[in-house]
Amino acid sequence: MTAPPLTDHPHEPLTGSDDWHGAATTTQIAILTARSMRALVLDRRLLIIGVVESLIMLIAFGQVFSGLAYAPGFPAHIKYIDFLFPALMLTTTLQSGIQAGIGVTDDAQSGILDRLRSMPVWPGSILIARSLAGLARGALRLLVLLTLARALFGYHPAGGVEGLLAAAALSLAVSWSLSWLFIALACWIHQSEALHATAGLVMFPLMYASNAFVPMDGLPGWLRWIARYNPITHGINSARDLCLTGTTGPGVLTAILASLLIATAAATTATKALSRPR
């Protein structure tokens, strides 16, 4: 004699509901971040490209513009590599932010994004995972950049190890916040080629309408006005102070707050774009 089923329908789950609401949001983010990180760790081509890009940036900017250290208005007793390196830290980590956006477009083109959208996964989890993977990529690229700067140029910041680590943390925080601009663009564009072109248009004013490569006093008046309101300028100023002196002023709060405001607006836009029916 067989026992009666525990429910009216023998194949119905014991919970009494057929709905699966998915894993916790933190679990979703952890799993999706690990998925994105595997490509970073296992693909040697990405690591090689990161090393080559860092080397090109150091040689190109460090050598081509080194004569600016003797130009009128350049800070006295500061080598150009010491002036330049904090800007390269932000440039390098911002490139990782662009790669985070491209990762979203790659998932869209391969169909993985549609598959994830059909599951009980919060769209924000997908985007946060990509941003965290980009943050890890940026940290790795910073390590490569610093190693090459020390080996090739004897870079040794006057602010010491503490100042350098604080500048690196600031660069990662600002670039992670601004990476949401590229993630938001990816959610609307869905094409890697178009995103590359658009990201270039965004990066150009961010980096060159700033004090990344020349002091503010060396910029034309109209460009100096733009640079003054560029969040990258405040981030570079703070990172530069940390590397050169080990201390920084109130500009660090301006850089972080402005970047977080941009990140909040861009993350909200990106999540809404990913949630909309296609």
The string of pLDDT tens digits covering residues 10-56 is: 444 434 444 545 678 888 888 888 888 887 666 677 777 777 887 88
Residue 177 within a domain: yes
Domain that holds residue 165: 46-275
The string of pLDDT tens digits covering residues 110-155 is: 888 888 877 878 888 889 999 999 899 889 889 989 998 888 888 8
Residue 21 within a domain: no
**pLDDT score recorded for residue 21:** 57
Asked whether residue 3 carries a pLDDT value surpassing 80, the answer given is: no
The string of pLDDT tens digits covering residues 258-278 is: 889 999 999 999 988 887 766
Residue 17 within a domain: no
Total tally of structural domains belonging to the chain: 1
Mean pLDDT along residues 229-243: 89
Residue 142 within a domain: yes
Mean pLDDT along residues 195-206: 84
Distance of CA 222 to the CA centre of its chain: 28
What percent of the chain has pLDDT above 90? 19
**pLDDT score recorded for residue 277:** 63
pTM, full prediction: 0.82
Mean pLDDT along residues 197-212: 85
Residue 99 within a domain: yes
Asked whether residue 93 carries a pLDDT value surpassing 80, the answer given is: yes
Q: What are the residues whose beta carbons fall under 8 Å from the beta carbon of 148, sequence distance 6 or more?
A: 51, 54, 55, 58
Residue 148 within a domain: yes
Q: How many CB atoms lie within 10 A of CB 95?
A: 21
| Alpha carbon distance 96, 194 (integer Å) | 17
Choose from 68-77, 108-117, 153-162, 188-197 the range with maximum mean pLDDT: 153-162
CB 69 within 8 A of CB 154: no
The continuous run of DSSP H or E covering 102 comes out as helix 80-110
What percent of the chain has pLDDT above 70? 88
DSSP for 151-193?
Answer: HHH----TTHHHHHHHHHHHHHHHHHHHHHHHHHHHHHH--HH
Residue 154 within a domain: yes
Residue 242 within a domain: yes
Tokens matching residue 27: 């679990």
Choose from 71-80, 155-164, 216-225 the range with maximum mean pLDDT: 155-164
